[in-house]
Amino acid sequence: MDISLQQVEYRYQVNSPFEHLALEDVSIDIPSGTYLAIIGHTGSGKSTILQHLNAILKPTKGKVIIGDQEVTNAKKQKNLKSIRKKVGIVFQFPEHQLFEETVEKDICFGPMNFGVSESEAKRRAREAILQVGLSEEILAKSPFDLSGGQMRRVAIAGVLAMEPDVIVLDEPTAGLDPRGRKEIMDMFYRLHKDRNLSTILVTHSMEDAALYADQIVVMHQGKVFKKGSPREIFQSPVGLMELGLDVPEVVRFQNKLEDTFHVKFSKTCVTLEELTEEIHRLFKKVGELT
């Protein structure tokens, strides 16, 4: 399902003393099957964009096209439910939203709310729990007896069980240890491929953006600062750093090397392996290595 934001503006609390322009002239195309990362400073508008992706917020100007539906300020919207069925959002700390007696009931809640039968919801719960790397036995347990990492996975399973076409992730690994972080990110990547999803990742982690995304949008003060592939985005790291954003460690390290050695490598490396190759080549040139 294609999503497109066209000249979107969003103001919070219009006509009040607290009126605040959060998004200005934001245009982003997210063709079906894209893995898009949205990065930016705290307060840059990332979370406001996220809430437009399933019509929690409606733009104060411009339009958001989600599949065959158009969301604008003017229209009285019917059928927002069908949008929300197709676009699943995994909010920050999704485990805070667990509430049911058992894991199974919790996962079934979403699909049944959208009219799925109980038996079908249960089938989906079993499938989803395996997809997030937990075993079926956990379905009978109370979500509150689980560890933090397990609770997060259960909450994610709840979103998967709605079988969305688009999955939106808001800092999905916050608070997890490095292993947990990698497992969750790899899992989303696998789902992205296997289910042919569109994935939209809102993150502070430049490492994750570089590693998983096809496209990156950099937000700054409510506007799109830059769009492109990871390599395009990190080609000129200085601009990003001036915005107070980090660049991936590999990119930063390459920059330091290039400055010290007064050379320019053939490309912007986004993985450790690529950079090792470049350094290897550099040493080969002076005859140190063969």
Partner 1 sequence: MTDAVVRIENVSFKYDGQSDFALNNVSLHINDGEWLAIVGHNGSGKSTMAKLLNGLQTPSEGSIQICGIELTEETVWDTRKQIGMVFQNPDNQFVGSTVQDDVAFGLENNGVPREEMVQRVKTSLEKVKMDKFLDQEPHHLSGGQKQRVAIAGVLALRPKIILLDEATSMLDPRGREEVLQTIRELKESNQMTVVSITHDLEEAAKADRIIVMNKGQLYREGTPEEIFQMDEELVELGLDIPFPVKMSKLLKSKGIPINKHYLTEEELVAQLWTSHSNK
Q: Are 48 and 59 in contact (CB under 8 A)?
A: no
Shortest reach from residue 245's CB to partner 1, in Å: 7
Cβ–Cβ under 8 Å, residues 36 and 215: yes
Helix runs in 132-247, H state only: 148-160, 178-194, 206-212, 230-234, 237-242
Q: Which of 47, 198, 215, 268 binds partner 1 (CB under 8 A)?
A: 47
Q: How far is the CB of 97 from partner 1 (least distance, A)?
A: 14
Our finding on whether 257 is near partner 1 (CB under 8 A) is yes
Q: How far apart are CA 273 and CA 200, in angstroms?
A: 26
* Binding status of residue 286 toward partner 1 by CB under 8 A: yes
Please compute Rg for the chain using Cα positions: 21
Question: What amino acid is encoded at 222 in this protein?
Answer: G
Q: Is 118 in the site for partner 1 (CB under 8 A)?
A: no
- The footprint of partner 1 on this chain (CB under 8 A) covers a number of residues equal to 45
CB of 287 to partner 1, least distance (A): 6
276 in contact with partner 1 (CB under 8 A): yes
The CA distance from 4 to 126, in Å, is 33
Binding segment toward partner 1, per CB under 8 A, in 24-32, 36-44, 118-126, 192-200 = 36-44
- Report, in Å, the least distance between residue 278 CB and partner 1: 11
- Whole-angstrom CA distances from 100 to 30, 95, 96, 104 are 34, 12, 12, 8
Asked if residue 252 binds partner 1 (CB under 8 A), the reply is yes
Integer Cα distance of 279 and 152 in angstroms: 40
160 with 132: CB under 8 angstroms? yes
Report the nearest approach of partner 1 to the CB of residue 42 (Å): 3
Query: Binder to partner 1 among 179, 194, 264, 266 (CB under 8 A)?
Result: 179
Q: How far is the CB of 93 from partner 1 (least distance, A)?
A: 7
175 part of the interface to partner 1, by CB under 8 A: yes
281 binds partner 1 (CB under 8 A): no
Which residues are CB-neighbours of 75 under 8 A, at least 6 positions away?
A: none
With residue 283 as reference, give the H or E element that holds it. helix 272-285
Q: Nearest approach, Cβ of 244 to partner 1 (angstroms)?
A: 3
Residue of the chain from 42, 119, 135, 266 that contacts partner 1 (CB under 8 A): 42
User: Restricting to residues 52-111, which ones interact with partner 1 according to CB under 8 A?
Assistant: 92-93
Binding partner 1 (rule: CB under 8 A), the pick from 171, 198, 202, 219 is: 171
Answer for the pair 103, 140: CB distance below 8 angstroms, yes or no. Answer: yes
CB 164 to partner 1: min, Å = 25
User: Rounded to the nearest 10 degrees, what angle do helices 178-194 and 148-160 cross at?
Assistant: 10
Provide the binding-site residues for partner 1, judged by CB under 8 A: 18, 40-43, 47, 92-93, 147-149, 171, 174-181, 204, 206, 244-246, 249-250, 252-253, 256-257, 260-261, 272-273, 275-276, 279-280, 282-283, 286-289
